[in-house]
Amino acid sequence: MTAEPRAPAPGTPEPVPTALDASIPHTPALERPSPSAASSGRDRYLDLLRAIALVRIVAFHTFFQAVWLSVVFPSMGVMFALAGSLMARSLQRPATAVLKSRTRRLLLPLWAYSLTVVAVLLVQGWRPEQGDAGGWWLRILLWFVPIGDPPFPESIGSDAGLTETSWGMESADILWYIRAYFWFVLLSPLLLKAFRKLPWVTLMAPLGLVTVLGLEIVVIPGAADSPATDFATYGACWLLGFAYHDGLLRRVPFHIVLVAALAFMSLGLFWVWSHLEEFGWDLGANPLGQALWSFGVCALLLRISPSWSVLPRSLRFLDKLIALINNRAITVYLWHNLVLIASVPLIDLLWNFPVLEENLPWLLESELLQFIVVWPLLGLVFLAIGWIEDVAAKRRPRLWPTAAQGKGSSGKATKTP
């Protein structure tokens, strides 16, 4: 993903030490998963983090002035860290089988989304410009095989249409995350080997790269710029997932993690503050600020991880909702922006009701109403095509999966060998 897109919007990690940690010798224990990671049951703390991250992304793309949300909770870094942990856990099996499984789970939901968007764009008359690599139809394949940024029209349709003319661009913008996730998955077998051989060097390497890029010591040209920047920005978070799974960060004293995390977060905020005129407070537009802040926050969140088999009593009323969001995480991410776009003409219809127009004009004009409306609309998307995520994961298709995976009918966490 290049910086988190402003206009529109798939996990288990642990914290991070500093250069002091280079003195900690590598031991065979680094190659063994932690007890919590070894279990195949759901970790509800991590599920909670993922649900918060997805809700924050939807909010970020709804409340256009609330760019500070990217600082309050760095969703993209958190999701990459969680995904890195799950990938390390999966790689206890042969790498080829893992890559096939992860690719299938990502591509099937993506194909459903891309078929819908591209079909509508083509019907509206859009054709990508001819490129040196081949015809427009070949470039369209990037919508379905996310190794690069797909082509899209900056404007499509007319101002008198039901949706804004920028809807095609906004539909493509969010695919930066899918592209970055796909490359992280493909590179994970090599990254995991490097991490277990030189854990701290590997963990810090992406931060070194993003610093070089952020200071413009090196400028990456052309189509390689976005993938390289995304790797540098979120690579350390992905590797934190490896560290969490292997139990490496758990062995570092908490006070060291705390000091290191706060140092990275402070550096990130300083960099953001010193470049406010260029990027503002939107971390998605500031790769170096995003990388440093996200790394520190993810380190803390994953170091204090309580590894809940069930949610605490005070949060148990959210159990089904958290399970639903986690079971439909890719669907939420891919479709929420289109649903936001579709909500605008629906909300416009409410102005035809005099009671609402006269008494609640502030609500009809507010982004809050759009944020409220988007969730039942996403529920309809879950019912219509959400089951594709189950098919991709080779699970029984479910219309409304409010039970966490790995749970039995009793609702209690189950563990399998």
What is the value of pTM for the model shown? 0.87
Name residue 182's beta-bridge partners. none
How far apart are the C-alpha atoms of 38 and 315, rounded to whole Å? 25
Can you give the pLDDT at residue 139?
83
Can you give the pLDDT at residue 408?
36
Write the DSSP assignment of 169-231 as a string of letters: HHHHHTHHHHHHHHHHHHHHHHHHHHHHHSHHHHHHHHHHHHHHHHTTSS---GGGHHHHHHH
Can you give the pLDDT at residue 222?
77
Can you give the pLDDT at residue 26?
37
φ/ψ (deg, to 5) at 216: 60, 30
How far apart are the C-alpha atoms of 297 and 71, rounded to whole Å? 10
| Backbone region of residue 401 per phi and psi (left: phi > 0; alpha: psi in -120 to 50; beta: other values) | beta
Question: Reduced to 3 DSSP states, what percent helix, strand and coil does the chain have, rounded to the nearest 5?
Answer: 70, 0, 30
Can you give the pLDDT at residue 150?
93
352: Cβ–Cβ under 8 A, 6 or more apart, which residues? none
The answer to whether the CB of 33 falls within 8 A of the CB of 199 is no
Can you give the pLDDT at residue 135?
65
φ/ψ (deg, to 5) at 395: -110, 165
Measured torsion, CA atoms of residues 112, 108, 184, 287, in degrees rounded to the nearest 10: 10
φ/ψ (deg, to 5) at 119: -60, -45
Q: Using only the alpha carbons of the chain, give its radius of gyration.
A: 22
Can you give the pLDDT at residue 25?
35
169: Cβ–Cβ under 8 A, 6 or more apart, which residues? 7, 152, 153, 154, 155
Residue 105, token pair as written in the block: 């789970």
Among 249, 183, 222, 314, CA closest to 30:
249
Residue 48, token pair as written in the block: 């909670």
Over its length of 417 residues, how does the chain's per-residue pLDDT go in tens digits?
444 444 333 433 333 333 333 333 333 334 344 433 334 468 999 999 999 999 999 999 999 889 999 999 999 999 999 999 999 999 999 999 999 999 999 999 999 999 999 999 999 989 887 554 556 777 899 999 999 999 999 988 776 667 788 899 999 999 999 999 999 999 999 999 999 999 999 999 999 999 999 998 988 887 788 999 999 999 999 999 999 999 999 999 999 999 999 999 999 999 999 999 888 999 999 999 999 999 999 999 999 999 899 999 999 999 999 999 999 999 999 999 999 999 999 999 999 999 988 889 999 999 999 999 999 999 999 999 999 999 999 999 999 999 865 443 333 333 322
How far apart are the C-alpha atoms of 354 and 410, rounded to whole Å? 49
SS3 318: helix
